[in-house]
Structure 1
Amino acid sequence: MAQLEIHTDGASRGNPGDASFAFLVRKNGSILKEDYGCLGTLTNNQAEYTALVRALDFILKVYPKENVLIHSDSELMVKQVNGEYRVKSGDLKPLFEEAKELIGKIEGTVRLVHVRREANKDADALCNRALDEEG
């Protein structure tokens, strides 16, 4: 069975500043879902985590038994969720805990990998679209 491929991204213009999230869900190259929107004033790391949480929430509701590979250009978030870094920021801890809880509820395997920004351009474009449409 092919796994779901998810690309997540978060952006903040100002850091903290106007922030947005985006995620895309693909299977066998076809887009099954894309979602994006503005989040108000947040840091880029809060926006990155929000994108992850929203993607995981969608997966839990619609594809809870699927194996999932999540791509993110946030090395910090990927390493925190994978247990390589501790979460020191009080602003990120609740989002980190929510992400871990959602991962634990998904029946399939969930893997997070860090990718370069160029490999995440579709999610990045959706983040920018959200901020441009809002402004």
Structure 2
Amino acid sequence: MERLTIYTDGGSRGNPGPAAFGFVIKDAGGKLVRQYGEAIGVATNNEAEYRAVAAALKKAKQMFGSEKLKQMGVEMRMDSQLAVEQLSGRYKIENEKLQPLFIQIWNLRVELGGNVVFTHIPREKNTEADRMVNEALDQKEQDQLF
């Protein structure tokens, strides 16, 4: 089965602190389809991780449509084991700020027929999404200087 692979990352400089998220979407052959990074103001690392997943799923849905994604399936790869366990339903989400983001992600997952899996990967396998985060944070810092 053809499966879309999405690498996501979120980070903050300080926790909480200036934060950003990034994602990289690749097709079944590993070809880059889309990459994106965005500064989101002051947030925690976990909030940025969740924002990355929500934004990436929305973008994939916009690009491919719900029906095609239901057939393809989506694998979300991320280096935050906590986020993977929470989004997979194995760990409880105690942070109240994450709960609305979790619901948003869960609803997107339902729209895609539940055919979304979350996979933990080592940080060194997530360098492209991490680069999107750092570029967004660096750009935000540059914008504030001028």
Letter in 2 for 1:71: R
What RMSD, in angstroms, separates the aligned Cα atoms of the two structures?
1.1
Q: Which runs of 4+ in 1 moved over 4 A?
A: none
Q: Deviations over 1:9-48 (max 9, x none)?
A: 0010011000001001001121111111100000000000
Give percent identity, aligned residues only.
Answer: 39
- Which residue does the alignment assign to 2:138? 132
Deviation at 1:62, TM superposition (A): 2.0
Amino acid at match of 1:52: V
Unaligned runs of 5+ in 2: 142-146
What's the CA shift for 1:109? 1.7
Q: Which amino acid aligns with 1:127?
A: V
Q: Which residue of 70, 94, 101 maps to 2:107?
A: 101
Give the Å deviation of 1:107: 3.8
1:10 aligned counterpart, secondary structure:
strand
Equivalent position SS for 1:88: coil
Q: TM-score, normalized by length of structure 2?
A: 0.89
Q: CA deviation at 1:115?
A: 0.7
Q: What SS does structure 1 have at the residue aligned with 2:126?
A: helix
Alpha-carbon distance in 1 for matches of 2:89, 2:113: 20
Q: Is the 8 A contact 1:60 1:105 kept in 2?
A: no
The alpha-carbon deviation at position 58 of structure 1 amounts to 1.2
Which structure shows the bigger proportion of residues in strand conformation?
Answer: 1
> 2:90 matched to 1:84?
yes
Distance 1:108 1:89, change over 3 A: closer
Aligned to 1:33: 34
SS in 1 for 2:82: helix
Q: Which has the higher helix share?
A: 2
Name the SS for the 1:2 alignment partner: coil
Tell me the distance in 1 between the aligned counterparts of 2:94 and 2:61: 27
The code of the aligned residue for 1:74 comes to: S
Structure 1 residue aligned with 2:9: 9
User: With structure 1 as the length reference, what TM-score do the two structures score?
Assistant: 0.95
Q: Structure 1 stretches of 5 or more lacking a match?
A: none
